[in-house]
């Protein structure tokens, strides 16, 4: 292993291994350097420069996410120059597009006309759909800036709503490129990239087509990566707010990968699903089924009461009656035809605990080894 | 899996066969694509269809359906004759090499080409690539197992990995991908006719005694029971009287559905416990409403043997109950008292009687799951199997000869049919088809056919056709696609209304009892 080297951040002496960036070292020691474009497990692009820090002896501020840590380097992460630079970046980002959370202005001068314009673009009277869950908004508060310093720039592209899962709101895109990296470097679906140049830049699928006609497989990795409100789940947009929804961690119930996910619960309903970042086995990634295929939980077709068939028709029954009937019928078949005339098909869909109980039920109660599941099928 | 999911990125060579990974295990497939795109790994894909992974493959071999043993033996022959195998691994950790070597002798590249359609040069290149890798991982799924000789296919892949010493190392291994979320757990927990939880044989009297003591019973049966694919015909013959089905829908997923349906109707008593009134539940005498995963606590074991928590997020609809609770209530009514405080109490009991889970507790898997075997509370779990030795000690080579698929094409049924899944739906569709967006992406059943075959049979894209096999017929729309290979059509099996399994062959693998979903003979005609 390479020899340990040392550097100083904000007056504290830290060791690091060569190859680490300033950001890596800082994060490891819980020093909070803000980032927007940086995406874990992707090659850093240095696109947004919000992570700039003051490195003693360097001519310019350096982006922490791409600058390698070096022996005896002395770094300040919140010097006046750093704060000035970050404020400027934020002001520029806030002035372009429909960033209508309350950070735009404090004097209220053109607030009303701006809100009205956004309202007509959005088709909603509410503030930005990711209010309270937006990195840009968070940083605007942290550095106390608004979008009023520069005159607003027009949004060049209309919203895309034609696919069933994701709303692409180009007016709120800050061109950080995280979605592109998420798509190409994390999920490797290679569906989107940066199209056009300069002020016309836009994140596009091949040929600037809607996602539904592209290679997109609706994994939603880009939605989870987007730090702002430019990519939002269609069904959750404006409906799910971070302060009203509870997150419950669980395991996906579709395929055998076993992705770790949060179920976002609002008013006793699962309203959104997101991947658990930084945890095995999926590190935040999900697929279209795991992320968007949760409607079955609250489907009206769910069974809610036991059913007993009489004369070829089902009728609703009380648990007591249904359980008694099952126990009595199984018992009498066991009695007259022997335990091996009965079988149990347990399930690849239920829990380990339940499979264990099914195994105990078949063997200890029915006294048969006729138990299997449908995984062969 | 012998190895972990993340481990795939450490492989130098990845061999994928019989798995449409990007559609069926999407999040796992990202590791394959990342390894190839950014880490210099090489992908060997063996699959007749032009699946998405073909774009990432260095070598893509399109074998004829049901000829897997042939190309695998062929690769081994190349590796042995060119002396590319791992001699020290073979000597110290395996046995049966000579018999296997003799068996593969006749599988020359030319012979392989003739049977599989894989060009001899490609086979040789694949063999060299796989054998030459520092670490090479094999990934496979139902495309390998769902054959009348699926067990042979699996053993052949294990032969190949052992021959090259790609076992017990990071980035190596033979990795079956589990289709449903808790197949691994259902097997681990004794949802099999021949073993208790932890693969403890029912025929082992010492084990039976241990379980009798743990459960407070006597006379546990020691004869292995019937598999699902044996129960169905027995029900038909009338020997088998009652079936208790939990959370499964064999009436869409069973092979040769028409027959299965008749069989279930023959039962004296059918109980189905599920979250929806499935096609199978419709036939039941009693239907019991169960909770979905979002409404309960417990654990699932994923395809890499990692035991992970699920947690209750919402209340169940109406009076739906935990599956375990329902079973306990029935047991108690049958005179066997079963009561548990909660799922954790059950877990603690199963950990006591299951050596491979003995060290796992809810507390330990609160954040990250643990890979079994995990025999003691201090054990870190076992991400990679067979590091020092195989379960049986030495790894055994199996000498396996080729046996053609049970059903061949002929003048009446000139096309092969293979079945599978699509990204947007899951299994029999009871869950995914409740999401409009997923239905919008793939609204109905289709039959995928190559442009050449479409021209040959004068069929247009989007046209409705009837697909008939010796067992039944369904209708679906034609999807002309360059994914298909000429001579073979593909149908996803999710759709109950056009259930592909009305066509498939119930011919079983003699060992695993898995039906031959992946090969049968059909004919197409314009729908009336
Ligand atoms: S949903 Fe997935 S595939 Fe589609 S653009 Fe986003 S990251 Fe790419
Ligand atoms: S859509 Fe979101 S993630 Fe993509 S570039 Fe715009 S702001 Fe960044
Ligand atoms: S999110 Fe997709 S890949 Fe992950 S476990 Fe669920 S179905 Fe499998
Ligand atoms: S986070 Fe470092 S440049 Fe964007």
Q: Are residues B211 and B341 in the same domain?
A: yes
Nearest to B509 by CA among B194, B144, B47: B144
Cβ atoms of residues B343 and A351 within 8 Å: yes
Residue B400: inside a domain: no
Q: Are residues B324 and B189 in the same domain?
A: yes
A173 CB within 6 A, ligand 2: yes
A226 CB within 6 A, ligand 3: no
Structural domain boundaries enclosing A120: 106-233
Asked whether the CA dihedral B309, B315, B317, B318 is positive or negative, the reply is positive
Number of separate domains in chain A: 5
Helix axis angle, B120-132 relative to B109-116, nearest 10°?
Answer: 110
CATH number where A128 lies: 3.30.70.20
CATH number where B60 lies: 3.40.228.10
Q: Are residues A25 and A48 in the same domain?
A: yes
Q: Are residues A110 and A229 in the same domain?
A: yes
Give the model's pLDDT for residue B92.
95
Q: Are residues A267 and A204 in the same domain?
A: no
**Main-chain dihedrals φ then ψ at residue B67, nearest 5 degrees:** -115, 30
Residue with tokens 């757990």: B185
Give the model's pLDDT for residue B168.
93
Residues contacting residue B274 through CB under 8 Å, at least 6 positions apart: A303, B245, B246, B247, B248, B249, B280, B281, B287, B288, B289, B290
Question: DSSP string covering B367-435, please?
Answer: SS-EESP--STT----SSS-SSSBTTBSEEP--------S----SSS-EEEEEE--TT--TTSTTGGG-
Closest residue by CA, ligand 3 atom 2:
A287
Q: Are residues B456 and B492 in the same domain?
A: yes
Q: Are residues A190 and A112 in the same domain?
A: yes
A37 CB within 6 A, ligand 4: yes
Q: Are residues B208 and B151 in the same domain?
A: no
C-alpha A344/C-alpha B184 separation (Å) is 18
B228: nearest CB among A270, A333, A376: A376
Residue B248: inside a domain: yes
Q: Are residues A159 and A184 in the same domain?
A: yes
Domain boundary (B325, B353, B377) is at: B377
Give the model's pLDDT for residue A104.
57
A353 to B324: CB separation less than 8 angstroms, yes or no: yes
Residue B64: inside a domain: yes
Q: Are residues B148 and B208 in the same domain?
A: no
C-alpha A332/C-alpha B242 separation (Å) is 11
A256: nearest CB among B177, B227, B290: B177
Cis preceding linkage at B373, omega within 30: yes
Closest CA of chain B from A162, distance in Å: 11
B247 to A259: CB separation less than 8 angstroms, yes or no: no
Per DSSP, the three-state class of B95 is strand
Closest CA of chain B from A101, distance in Å: 29
For residue A163, CA distances in Å to A168, A210, A211, B440 come to 10, 8, 7, 9
Cis preceding linkage at A281, omega within 30: yes
Q: What are the residues facing A72 on neighbouring strands?
A: none
Residue A93: inside a domain: no
C-alpha B32/C-alpha B39 separation (Å) is 10
Question: DSSP string covering B36-86, please?
Answer: HHHS--EEEEE-SS--GGGGG-SEEE-PPTT-HHHHHHHHHHHHHHTT-S-
Asked whether the CA dihedral B141, A347, B511, B252 is positive or negative, the reply is negative
Nearest CA in chain B to A336: B241
Residue B398: inside a domain: no
User: What are the pLDDT digits (tens) for A12-58?
Assistant: 999 999 999 999 999 999 999 999 999 999 999 999 999 999 999 99
Average pLDDT for runs of 10 along chain B of length 528: 93 96 96 97 96 96 94 98 96 96 97 97 98 96 83 94 95 91 94 96 97 96 93 89 92 75 92 95 97 98 96 98 98 97 98 97 96 96 90 91 89 92 90 93 94 94 93 93 93 84 80 79 88
Q: What are the residues facing A174 on neighbouring strands?
A: none
CATH number where B342 lies: 3.40.50.740
Structure tokens at B409: 């094409």
Q: Are residues A359 and A272 in the same domain?
A: no
C-alpha A116/C-alpha B413 separation (Å) is 66
Continuous segment of H or E residues that includes residue A248:
strand A246-251
Q: Are residues A110 and A58 in the same domain?
A: no
C-alpha A274/C-alpha A228 separation (Å) is 15
Whole-number Å distance, alpha carbon B481 to ligand 4 midpoint, is 43
Q: Are residues A226 and A184 in the same domain?
A: yes
CB atoms within 10 A of CB A324: 15
Asked whether the CA dihedral A30, A31, A32, A33 is positive or negative, the reply is negative
Residue A229: inside a domain: yes
DSSP class of residue A4 equals P
Residue B399: inside a domain: no
Domain boundary (B177, B210, B238) is at: B177
Q: Are residues B484 and B453 in the same domain?
A: yes
B196: nearest CB among A257, A359, A374: A359
C-alpha B478/C-alpha B480 separation (Å) is 6
CB atoms within 10 A of CB B40: 8
Q: Are residues B132 and B189 in the same domain?
A: no
pTM value is: 0.94
Closest CA of chain A from B411, distance in Å: 29
Q: Are residues B258 and B358 in the same domain?
A: no
Q: Which ligand is nearest to the CA of A293?
A: 3
Residue A238: inside a domain: no
DSSP class of residue A277 equals T
A99 CB within 6 A, ligand 4: no
Residue with tokens 């019973």: B217
Q: Are residues A182 and A277 in the same domain?
A: no
C-alpha B385/C-alpha B170 separation (Å) is 10
Residue with tokens 């036939």: B283
CATH number where B521 lies: 2.40.40.20
Please list the ranges in chain A whose pLDDT falls under 70: 1-2, 102-111, 375-377
State which of A188, A290, A291 you would mutate to test the pocket of ligand 3, scoring each by most atoms of that ligand within 8 A of its C-beta: A290
Residue B393: inside a domain: no
Residue B401: inside a domain: no
Question: DSSP string covering B142-187, please?
Answer: HHHHSSTTHHHHHHHHHHHHHHTT-SSSTT-SEEEPPSSTTHHHHH
Residue A319: inside a domain: yes
**Main-chain dihedrals φ then ψ at residue B120, nearest 5 degrees:** -55, -40
Residues contacting residue A195 through CB under 8 Å, at least 6 positions apart: A201, A202, A203, A204, A208
Cβ atoms of residues B291 and B320 within 8 Å: yes
Q: Are residues B73 and B204 in the same domain?
A: no
Residue A86: inside a domain: no
Number of separate domains in chain B: 4
A350 to B182: CB separation less than 8 angstroms, yes or no: yes
Structure tokens at B84: 């590319």
**Main-chain dihedrals φ then ψ at residue B516, nearest 5 degrees:** -85, 75
Interface check B358 vs A, CB under 8 A: no
Q: Are residues B340 and B204 in the same domain?
A: yes
State which of A89, A160, A177 you would mutate to test the pocket of ligand 2, scoring each by most atoms of that ligand within 8 A of its C-beta: A177
Cβ-Cβ contacts under 8 Å, B347 against chain A: 352-353
A355: nearest CB among B186, B217, B290: B186
C-alpha A151/C-alpha B70 separation (Å) is 70
Structural domain boundaries enclosing B96: 6-177
Q: Are residues A130 and A223 in the same domain?
A: yes
CA angle A45, A47, A50 (to 5 degrees): 120
CA angle A57, A58, A61 (to 5 degrees): 135
Q: Are residues B147 and B243 in the same domain?
A: no
Q: Are residues B141 and B254 in the same domain?
A: no
Residue B387: inside a domain: no
Q: Are residues A115 and A160 in the same domain?
A: yes
Q: Which ligand is nearest to the CA of A291?
A: 3
CATH number where A288 lies: 2.20.25.90
Q: Are residues A277 and A194 in the same domain?
A: no
Give the model's pLDDT for residue A105.
56
Cβ atoms of residues A86 and A50 within 8 Å: yes
C-alpha A238/C-alpha A33 separation (Å) is 30
Helices (H), A144-279: 178-181, 221-225
**E strand segments, B204-321:** 242-246, 269-274, 286-289, 298-301, 306-310
């Amino acid at each position: 292993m390479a020899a340990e080297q040392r550097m100083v951040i904000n007056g504290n002496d830290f060791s690091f291994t060569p190859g680490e960036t300033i950001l890596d070292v800082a994060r490891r020691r819980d020093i909070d350097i803000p980032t927007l474009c940086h995406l874990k497990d992707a090659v850093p692009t240095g696109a947004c420069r919000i992570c700039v820090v003051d490195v003693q002896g360097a001519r310019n501020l350096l982006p922490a996410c791409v600058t390698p840590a070096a022996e005896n380097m002395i770094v300040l992460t919140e010097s006046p120059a750093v704060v000035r630079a970050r404020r400027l970046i934020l002001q520029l980002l806030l002035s372009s597009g429909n960033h209508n959370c309350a950070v735009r202005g404090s004097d209220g001068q053109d607030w009303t006309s701006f809100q009205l314009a956004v309202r007509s673009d959005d088709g909603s009277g509410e503030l930005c759909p990711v209010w309270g869950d937006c990195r840009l908004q968070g940083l605007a508060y942290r550095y106390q800036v608004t979008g009023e310093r520069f005159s607003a720039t027009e949004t060049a592209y209309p919203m895309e709503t034609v696919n069933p899962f994701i709303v692409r709101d180009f007016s709120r895109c800050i061109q950080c490129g995280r979605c592109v990296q998420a798509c190409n470097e994390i999920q490797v679906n290679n569906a989107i990239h940066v199209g056009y140049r300069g002020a016309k830049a836009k994140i596009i699928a091949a040929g600037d087509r809607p996602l539904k006609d592209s290679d997109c497989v609706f994994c939603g990795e880009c939605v989870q990566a987007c730090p702002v409100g430019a990519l939002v789940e269609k069904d959750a947009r404006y409906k799910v707010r971070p302060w009203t929804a509870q997150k419950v961690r669980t395991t996906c119930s579709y395929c055998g990968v076993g992705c770790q996910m949060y179920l976002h619960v609002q008013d006793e309903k699962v309203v959104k699903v997101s991947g658990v970042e930084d945890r095995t086995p999926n590190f935040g990634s999900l697929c279209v089924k795991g992320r968007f295929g949760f409607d079955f939980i609250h489907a009206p077709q769910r069974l809610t009461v036991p059913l007993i068939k009489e004369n070829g028709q089902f009728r609703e029954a009380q648990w007591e009656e249904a359980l008694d009937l099952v126990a009595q019928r199984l018992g009498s078949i066991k009695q007259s035809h022997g335990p091996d005339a009965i079988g149990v098909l347990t399930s690849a869909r239920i829990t380990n605990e339940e499979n264990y109980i099914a195994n105990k039920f078949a063997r200890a109660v029915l006294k048969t080894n006729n138990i299997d599941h449908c995984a062969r099928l | 899996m012998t190895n972990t999911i993340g481990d795939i990125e450490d492989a130098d060579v990845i061999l994928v066969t019989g798995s449409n990974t990007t559609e069926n295990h999407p999040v796992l497939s990202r590791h394959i694509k990342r390894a190839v795109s950014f880490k210099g790994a090489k992908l060997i894909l063996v699959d007749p269809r032009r699946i998405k992974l073909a774009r990432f493959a260095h070598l893509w071999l399109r074998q004829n359906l049901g000829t897997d043993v042939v190309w695998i033996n062929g690769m081994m022959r190349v590796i042995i004759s060119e002396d590319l195998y791992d001699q020290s691994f073979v000597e110290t950790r395996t046995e049966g090499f000579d018999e296997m070597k003799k068996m593969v002798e006749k599988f020359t590249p030319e012979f392989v080409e003739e049977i599989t359609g894989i060009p001899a040069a490609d086979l040789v290149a694949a063999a060299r690539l796989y054998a030459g890798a520092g670490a090479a991982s094999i990934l496979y799924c139902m495309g390998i197992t769902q054959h009348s000789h699926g067990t042979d296919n699996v053993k052949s892949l294990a032969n190949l990995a052992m021959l090259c010493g790609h076992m017990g190392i990071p980035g190596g291994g033979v990795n079956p991908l589990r289709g449903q979320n808790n197949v691994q757990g259902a097997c681990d927990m004794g949802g099999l006719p021949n073993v208790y939880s932890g693969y403890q044989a029912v025929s082992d009297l010492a084990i039976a005694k241990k379980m009798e003591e743990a459960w407070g019973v006597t006379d546990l049966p020691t004869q292995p029971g019937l598999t699902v694919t044996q129960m169905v015909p027995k029900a038909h013959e009338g020997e088998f009287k009652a079936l208790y089905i939990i959370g499964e829908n064999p009436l869409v997923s069973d092979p040769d559905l028409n027959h299965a349906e008749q069989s279930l109707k023959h039962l004296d008593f059918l109980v189905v416990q599920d979250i929806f009134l499935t096609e199978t539940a419709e036939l039941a005498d009693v239907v019991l409403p169960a909770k979905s995963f979002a409404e309960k606590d417990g654990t699932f074991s994923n395809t890499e043997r990692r035991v992970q928590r699920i947690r209750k997020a919402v209340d169940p609809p109406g009076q739906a109950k935990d599956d375990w609770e329902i079973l306990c209530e029935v047991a108690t009514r049958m005179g066997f008292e079963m009561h548990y405080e909660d799922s954790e109490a059950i877990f603690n009991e199963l950990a006591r009687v299951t050596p491979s889970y003995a060290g796992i507790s809810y507390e330990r898997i609160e954040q990250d799951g643990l890979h079994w075997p995990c025999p003691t509370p201090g054990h870190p779990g076992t991400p990679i199997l067979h590091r020092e030795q195989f379960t049986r000690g030495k790894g055994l080579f199996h000498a396996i000869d080729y046996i053609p698929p049970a059903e061949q094409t002929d003048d009446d049924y000139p096309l092969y049919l293979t079945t599978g899944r699509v990204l947007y739906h899951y299994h029999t569709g009871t869950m995914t088809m409740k999401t409009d967006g997923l239905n919008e992406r793939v609204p109905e059943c289709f039959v995928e056919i190559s442009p050449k075959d479409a021209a040959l049979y004068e069929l247009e894209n989007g046209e409705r056709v009837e697909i008939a096999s010796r067992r039944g017929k369904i209708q679906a729309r034609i999807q002309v696609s360059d994914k298909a290979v000429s001579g073979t059509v593909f149908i996803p099996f999710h759709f109950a209304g056009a259930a592909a399994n009305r066509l498939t062959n119930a011919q079983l693998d003699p060992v695993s009892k898995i039906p031959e979903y992946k090969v049968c003979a059909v004919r197409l005609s314009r729908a009336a």
